[in-house]
Amino acid sequence: MTEPLRRIPILLAALPLAACVTINIYFPAAAAEKAADKIIDEVWQLQQDGQKKVEPPAGGEKKP
Amino acid sequence: MNGLVRTVAALLASLWLAAFAWGQGNLEINTPAIAALRGAMQQRHGQLAPFYASGAVGVARDGTIQVRDANAVPLAQRQQVSGLVSAENNDRAALYREIARANGHPEWEADVRNTFAQRWTERAQSGWYVQNASGQWARKP
């Protein structure tokens, strides 16, 4: 086994590391928008699936 | 040796793909700090909603909310409104900071804020006031 061949795994190991750094340096705008929408839905109590918000029955106690 | 190289390469390729998918997919928003802020803001919204509707409070372009027309609020409630607005803005600032931090990039805070600012104004309900890019208030149709 020659020496250069032994280095291949090391080189390959460096690849995903470099890739991770490249990916995460840039702000993921689409993912941020998705996250924002999720939080806004929750804070403003909006429903995206077309369902009406379930209001608790006005007054009186609930009987199971 | 060739077999080993191939195995390692395959393993790394799948790792790379997973990292790529993760990087493109979602931001972490489920930390305890973020959950607490979300809960506090949701609770506060019940108190703020009438003031959005009356136009007393508007959705600002910088990811905050502002008292835009104090005259729309009865004198007795003005202090309460400004307290709500500043508490909300504190939570929002913390939220943007925490999201950036939870994702390992504190320097993303301004980007997170800008993204939220755009989504808050876009999703504001009909009748609410939102601030446009030049700082003018406009009522959502």
Whole-prediction pTM value? Answer: 0.72
Q: Min CA distance, A57 vs chain B (Å)?
A: 17
Give the lowest-confidence range in A28-32, B13-17, B83-87, B117-121.
B13-17
B75-127 pLDDT, tens digit each: 999 999 999 999 999 999 999 999 999 999 999 999 999 999 999 999 999 99
CB spacing of A36 vs B115 below 8 angstroms: yes
Distance between CA atoms of residues B133 and A12, nearest Å:
47
Burial class of residue B68 (count of CB atoms within 10 Å of its CB; 0-12, 13-18, 19+): middle
Within B1-141, strands assigned E span 57-59, 65-67, 129-131, 137-139
CB spacing of B111 vs A33 below 8 angstroms: no
Give the residue carrying structure tokens 């006005």. A58
pLDDT above 70 (res A45): yes
Closest Cβ opposite residue B38 in set A1, A28, A42 = A42
pLDDT above 80 (res A48): no
Q: Which of B87, B89, B109 is nearest to B98 (CA)?
A: B109
Question: What does the angle CA B26 – CA B27 – CA B32 come to, to the nearest 5 degrees?
Answer: 130
Which residues of chain B neighbour A20 with C-beta distances below 8 Å?
19, 23
Phi, psi (rounded to 5 degrees) for B64: -115, 180
Number of other CB atoms surrounding residue B57 within 10 Å: 27
Closest Cβ opposite residue A29 in set B15, B19, B115 = B115
Is residue B13 within 8 A of residue B21, CB to CB? The reply is no
Which residues of chain A neighbour B20 with C-beta distances below 8 Å?
19, 23
Question: Half-sphere exposure of B98 toward its Cβ, with a 13 Å CA cutoff?
Answer: 18
Phi, psi (rounded to 5 degrees) for A21: -60, -45
Task: Enter the ipTM.
Answer: 0.83
A10 pLDDT band (50/70/90 cuts)? confident
Distance between CA atoms of residues B113 and B97, nearest Å:
8
